[in-house]
Structure 1
């Protein structure tokens, strides 16, 4: 395939990734986009390709013969519908995480990809970040021994702005933010350890957001916008304390992975800072990152080998491009997958398993913390 021609479904914020695919002198070009908003489509044309075909009906996009692949950057609850339709239309698919908001939805997409023979890739861009590729390399090197424990703390600063002012705050649209937000972290735990989660127990609550405000209340029209801690100057921003919000903003998940690895994942959406803190503990040492410092620390213990003689600090080099430089890399990987059948760093099964863990943890939370087995499948695609 000389040049991969791409169409985008969903011209909102995440569609900004299309800039890395639109390279008329390179290996790919963005030729079309679909979204329910005409304004978003016009903005998309201005920022990406002013001659792109645009439509408010994504099915019209899928009918086009001049499109080889579809990138799905629509809201989570539409991923299954859009991905299945695109695959059945004979298009290769790049789908933003989470792959779907149910395990059944993920399986439906994967089975359709297998049936149609088209490529399917999940947008786990954290695998492409220098920070986490370094941590993966350290673990694979064996310097901290066999991994036995993983602790992850996710401080979601501005959680209200990003997740409780719009559709994310309703479980019917997301199932849980353990999928929308947590799928990245769960996937990194699986990727770096090389093991998938078998069972979970979790606790969570709506401890800050939600409340008794009308569902149609917006920040610009609110009487307390000048004193509200979550007020936004943007137009038509829904109140973060409205009645319909039912997605937990404070979660604690305990996981047991294959091989007996114990892991914990903590996620809070009303912290003052934004960072992810990962700790991996092995039989010969411990590894921990600091996103704010841009460093990874390795501490070793007695092992009767050369490894016990030193500790190490890795200073992570900065990359250019959005999401810490990961987006250009993941876009290149999708093109290599479509054009040359080169397998990317991510896999559909990994996307499915991060959703499966998020769904199991959500079930546990809403059932009072019971232990829930994570849905598996026999064949990993």
Structure 2
């Protein structure tokens, strides 16, 4: 195989990833799209000079010999079905995070993947961001000594826009935003520390969104749109205060990782700003990121060595491409996984473990914050 021919399921927000695969004269090319919306199908085709096979039935992609791989970019609650069906049809699969919305769903995917002989890659693009690669490199180098504690604060400044005006606001579609939105952060905690969570306790509530508005109400038709702070005129238009919303918008969890490392993750969807603040504390010092100004701060403590004599500031270099240059990198890794069997930075098992923590945290916060153990029963599938 000299070129990977890719079909896409879902032309929503993550549909933009396709642009990095479409290289007709290179090693990969987008050749097909499945989406239930004719409008999205048409708009997607407009972005490509070459004609695509377009369909509203994703299963039509699976019988085509001119499609080698499928990028599953559909809503979370469809991932399990789409990934399994594509693997069983003999297609390589790129799966947008989260892998599924239940641990059982992830385990079914992993079982089918192992039997299929095909490649499966999970879309954890934060692993490809310069900031988090730098933080991992510093920790792996011993710059802060032995890692002992991790603190993560996630200010989701666009939380209402992205998660409460559409299907994300209902738990049947996402389980919770600790799983859906938090899956990136939970994975980064696992990846940078090199350890998986073993138990978790969480608290959360629906403090701002949701309410008593009809589920059929949309922003453009609402008589309060001129005064509503959550009014959106386009793209996502379902009312953010509708009755069916039941996923928490203010969450915090604590967890213990293998080796006794303590970690916390705080997530709020009605903050005025957007930022992810990571702090890693070790026996020799700590590192903290500032993703607004693209910097990492390394601070040292007294150690009776030269290391205590200075602090260091790392400035991230600008990179081209969406998500801080991560999307073109992760797209290329999927191609090289298929063509050259080159292992990417992500693994299917990592996708499973991120979901496992999100599900356990959701169980905890909806049951008074009790401690929930994290199952690793699928460790035989981690390689």
TM-score by length of 1: 0.99
Indicate the larger mover: 234-243 or 256-265. 234-243
Can you list the C-alpha shifts for 1:302-349, whole angstroms capped at 9, x where unaligned? 223322121100001111001111000000000010010000000001
Aligned to 2:24, the other structure's residue is in SS state coil
Q: 2: distance between equivalents of 1:56 and 1:178?
A: 31
Q: How far apart are 1:236 and its partner, in Å?
A: 6.7
Q: Does the alignment pair 1:349 with 2:368?
A: no
Aligned to 1:151, the other structure's residue is in SS state strand
Can you list the C-alpha shifts for 1:73-112, whole angstroms capped at 9, x where unaligned? 0000000000000000000000000000000111111111
Written as runs of structure 1 = structure 2, the 5 A alignment for 1:137-216 is 137-216=137-216
Q: 1: distance between equivalents of 2:119 and 2:303?
A: 44
Aligned to 1:108, the other structure's residue is in SS state helix
Can you list the C-alpha shifts for 1:183-224, whole angstroms capped at 9, x where unaligned? 000011111100000000000000000000000000011111
Aligned to 2:334, the other structure's residue is in SS state helix
Q: Is the 8 A contact 1:196 1:257 kept in 2?
A: yes
What corresponds to 1:226 in structure 2? Answer: 226
What corresponds to 1:315 in structure 2? Answer: 315
Gaps of 5+ in 2: none
Q: 1: distance between equivalents of 2:305 and 2:180?
A: 42
TM-score by length of 2: 0.98
Q: Is the 8 A contact 2:161 2:236 kept in 1?
A: no
What corresponds to 1:368 in structure 2? Answer: 368
Aligned to 2:208, the other structure's residue is in SS state coil
Gaps of 5+ in 1: none
What corresponds to 2:274 in structure 1? Answer: 274
What corresponds to 1:135 in structure 2? Answer: 135
Q: 2: distance between equivalents of 1:336 and 1:247?
A: 38
Q: CA RMSD of the aligned region, Å?
A: 0.9
Q: Is the 8 A contact 1:86 1:92 kept in 2?
A: yes
Q: 2: distance between equivalents of 1:179 and 1:7?
A: 27
Distance of aligned partners of 1:43 and 1:151 in 2 relative to their CA distance in 1, 3 Å threshold? same
Q: Is the 8 A contact 1:152 1:276 kept in 2?
A: yes
Q: How far apart are 1:48 and its partner, in Å?
A: 3.2
Q: How far apart are 1:47 and its partner, in Å?
A: 1.2
Q: How far apart are 1:13 and its partner, in Å?
A: 1.7
Can you list the C-alpha shifts for 1:229-261, whole angstroms capped at 9, x where unaligned? 000111671100000000000000001000000
How many residues align? The count is 381
Can you list the C-alpha shifts for 1:113-169, whole angstroms capped at 9, x where unaligned? 100111000000000011111101110110100110000000000111100000000
